[in-house]
Amino acid sequence: MEQHCVQAFIQRIDALFMATLRGGHDDDAPWKAICSLRLSGSAFVFHKAKTWCNSINPLKRARAASILGQLQITHRHPWKSEKVFVAESFAILSALIPKETDVYALNSELSALGTLDDPNALPILTSFAQHSDSTTRYAVAVALGSFADDPGSVKALLELMEDRDHEVRDWAIFGLGTLGHADSEEIRQAFFAHLKDPFINAREEATVALAHRRDQRVIRPLINLLKRDHDRLLLLEAARIFLDMEDDPPDWFEAEYIAALEAKFSETLTVSA
């Protein structure tokens, strides 16, 4: 009976690994399989992913990295997960990245390295911050969000905030502005500059970042954005921060937030007028 259970387990895991290779890179089905493998937390999954990292198939390397980055178990503490094989996975990925030749696999490996939460990843991540491929710079921006308050990460995110790709800028602003708490006039001025970013999400992330830092100089721009752009959740989040609200009041829309901001910050708005 025990041997039968082990064999069934191995077959199930093998089937899940093969399922990660079917469909497109970002299709739901392969990612559902990846999530199942991550949650198994077993040594068998770890060793199979480790083997795939040496495959000549770049998709296998990419999928293996995505699994290793978030391999975890939940049975010890039902209310929370616990990452496993972290040191071993870091060693595998940090050795794999410098010799990676496929962009998609590289991006997966960089992303996985960030999710391991090991600050030793920073020199590796920042070395790719100026990569020629925008998808790699995006992967770096996302991964650096795990270390948003580290001085090296702050420097790299400030640079990525000026990226020519709007999605890279957007995530870099989010990483530094919301995931991180670093604060200086240089950082705030960088956020202020992006209040005029051509990409609406980047503008709104910059607004939220300044709201998190309670910089009242952004009140007027926030009100102007609320008047112009409707149903923008990030703008409402920024307003709630300034109004010390945890949740949306019932039946509140942009007009109610604007009125509340104008009432609370009337002196600030008079000075900035």
pLDDT reported for residue 4: 66
- Looking at 84, 101, 117, which one is the last position of a domain? 117
Which of 117, 145, 167 is the last residue in one of the domains?
A: 117
Task: Report pLDDT for 243.
Answer: 97
**pLDDT for residue 81:** 77
Per-residue buried b or exposed e for 21-37, using 16+ beta carbons within 10 Å of the residue's own CB: eeeeeeeeebbebbebb
Query: What number is the average pLDDT over the span 197-221?
Result: 97
The model's pLDDT over 140-195, given as tens digits with 9 standing for 90+, comes to 999 999 999 999 999 999 999 999 999 999 999 999 999 999 999 999 999 999 99
Residue 96 falls within a domain, yes or no?
Answer: yes
- Look at 5-9, 144-148, 186-190, 203-207 and tell me which has the smallest mean pLDDT: 5-9
Give pLDDT tens digits for 26-54: 899 999 999 999 998 899 999 999 999 99
Assigned domain for 109 exists = yes
Residues facing residue 73 across a β-bridge: 82
Distance of CA 81 to the CA centre of its chain: 19
Phi, then psi, of 100 in degrees rounded to 5:
-70, 135
Q: What is the pLDDT of residues 104-133, one digit of tens each?
A: 999 999 999 999 999 999 999 999 999 999
Q: Is residue 122 part of a domain?
A: no
Q: Output the pLDDT for position 125.
A: 98
| pLDDT surpasses 60 at 78 | no
Per-residue pLDDT at 209: 99
Q: How many domains does the chain have?
A: 2
What percent of the chain has pLDDT above 90?
84
Final residue of a domain: which of 99, 117, 135?
Answer: 117
Higher per-residue pLDDT: 229 or 126? 126
CA distances from 233 to 53, 188, 192 (A): 40, 22, 19
Euclidean distance between CA atoms 171 and 156, whole angstroms: 12
Q: pLDDT tens digits for 233-272? A: 999 999 999 999 998 888 999 999 999 999 999 988 887 6
Q: Examine residue 95 and state whether it is found in any structural domain, yes or no.
A: yes
Q: Which residue has the tokens 């609320």?
A: 226
232: containing domain: 214-273
Instruction: Enumerate residues 6+ apart whose C-beta is below 8 A from 44.
Output: 9, 10, 13
Mean pLDDT of all residues belonging to the chain: 94
Given a cut of 70, whether residue 139 has pLDDT beyond it is yes
**Is the residue at 73 inside a domain?**
yes
The verdict on residue 231 lying in a domain is yes
Cβ atoms < 10 Å from Cβ of 131: 17
